[in-house]
């Protein structure tokens, strides 16, 4: 599903060059649920953003579902994001003047799906995250957990090949976090490939594989026994 080879990324700030990713190599197969762990500032988000084509690597190879990702124009990147990728962010990133349903339908709009179809599909995914009754509420009327579930519904609505979640539980209390992880596990159970960035041990252990990042390289890559979040909710 994903293969990256010798990925490098550095940030230049004035005369300082901060080398954040120093040659990352890894592979993830279809249906995996991978946690990317590391302390704050270790480059987890940077890696995820490059995988998500929200940012570009300085060097290295990246293949997504057999398609080599390189020489991306903004327009091409946008098309790939729309077709291949779903995002879940720590801060939800819902559009505040659109209600839950419209937020979920937005990626479908960029797929040029007709309005009616779009709304039906968005409603289906909202139902899956248990928020059908909240479809016409604005994000400001939702709790943190609800917002993240809307965000997950939005990420899934486009039926991406890969779901990228950057600290999806970072802004949530532990009960709500487990609810969100329960949802992610269920999505994974259905066969979707998911990468979850987190710095919390318990969240990482709810995945099937943990990649440890330190000082810009992968220091450990382990398969783990998945802890089911449903046990806690």
Ligand X SMILES: Nc1ncnc2c1ncn2[C@@H]1O[C@H](COP(=O)(O)OP(=O)(O)O)[C@@H](O)[C@H]1O
Minimum distance, C-beta of residue 218 to Mg ion, in the bound complex (Å)? 16
Distance CA 88, CA 74 (A): 20
Cβ neighbours for 38, distance < 8 A, ≥ 6 positions apart: 44, 199, 212, 213, 214
Site membership for ligand X, residue 44 (CB under 6 A) = yes
Under 8 Å between Cβ of 210 and 197: no
Partner touching 17 among another protein, Mg ion, ligand X, none, CB below 5 to 8 Å by kind: none
Binders of ligand X among residues 16 to 35 (CB under 6 A) are: 18, 20
Contact status: 45 vs Mg ion (CB under 5 A): yes
User: Of the ranges 36-44, 100-108, 128-136, 186-194, which one interacts with ligand X (CB under 6 A)?
Assistant: 36-44
Element (H, E) at 81: helix 74-84
Is there a contact between 187 and 152 (Cβ–Cβ < 8 Å)? yes
Query: What 3 state SS string does 12-75 have?
Result: EECCEEEEEEEEEEEEECCCCEEEEECCCCCCHHHHHHHHCCCCCCCEEEEEECCEECCCCCHH
Q: Residue 89 binds which entry of ligand X, another protein, Mg ion, none, with Cβ cut-offs from 5 to 8 Å by kind?
A: another protein
Whether residue 21 contacts residue 9, with contact meaning beta carbons closer than 8 Å, is answered with yes
Minimum CB distance to ligand X smaller for 219 or for 233: 219
Main-chain dihedrals φ then ψ at residue 92, nearest 5 degrees: 70, -50
**Interacting residue ranges for another protein, rule: CB under 8 A:** 49, 52, 54-56, 74-75, 78-79, 81-83, 87, 89, 93-95, 97-98, 102, 106-107, 109-112, 114-115, 154, 158
Q: Which is nearer to Mg ion, 45 or 192 (CB)?
A: 45
90 binds ligand X (CB under 6 A): no
Work out whether 198 is an interface residue with ligand X (CB under 6 A).
no
Least separation in angstroms between residue 11's CB and ligand X is 3
Partner in contact with 40, chosen from ligand X, Mg ion, another protein, none, beta carbon below 5 to 8 Å by kind:
ligand X
Examine residue 148 and tell whether it contacts Mg ion (CB under 5 A).
no
Q: How far is the CB of 45 from ligand X (least distance, A)?
A: 3
Asked if 154 and 89 touch (Cβ cutoff 8 Å), the reply is: no
Name the residues that contact Mg ion, by CB under 5 A. Answer: 45
């Amino acid at each position: 599903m994903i293969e990256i080879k010798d990925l490098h990324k550095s940030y230049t700030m004035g005369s300082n060059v901060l080398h954040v990713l120093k040659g990352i190599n890894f592979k993830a197969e279809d249906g995996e649920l991978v946690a990317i762990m590391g302390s704050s500032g270790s480059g987890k988000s940077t890696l995820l953003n490059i995988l998500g084509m929200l940012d570009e690597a300085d060097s290295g190879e990246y293949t997504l579902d057999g398609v080599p990702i390189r020489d991306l124009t903004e327009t091409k990147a946008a098309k790939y994001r729309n077709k291949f990728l779903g995002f879940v962010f720590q801060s939800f990133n819902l559009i505040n003047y659109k209600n839950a349903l419209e937020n979920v339908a937005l990626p479908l709009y960029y797929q040029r799906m007709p309005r009616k179809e779009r709304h039906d599909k968005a409603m289906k995914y909202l139902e899956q995250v248990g928020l059908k009754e909240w479809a016409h509420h604005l994000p400001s009327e939702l709790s943190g957990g609800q917002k993240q579930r809307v965000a997950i519904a939005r990420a899934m609505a486009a039926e991406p090949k890969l779901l990228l979640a950057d600290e999806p539980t970072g802004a949530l209390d532990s009960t709500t976090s487990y609810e969100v992880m329960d949802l992610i596990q269920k999505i994974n159970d259905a066969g979707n490939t998911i990468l979850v960035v987190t710095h919390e041990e318990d969240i990482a252990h709810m995945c099937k594989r943990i990649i440890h990042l330190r000082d810009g390289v992968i220091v450990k890559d382990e398969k783990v026994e998945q802890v089911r979040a449903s046990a806690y909710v």
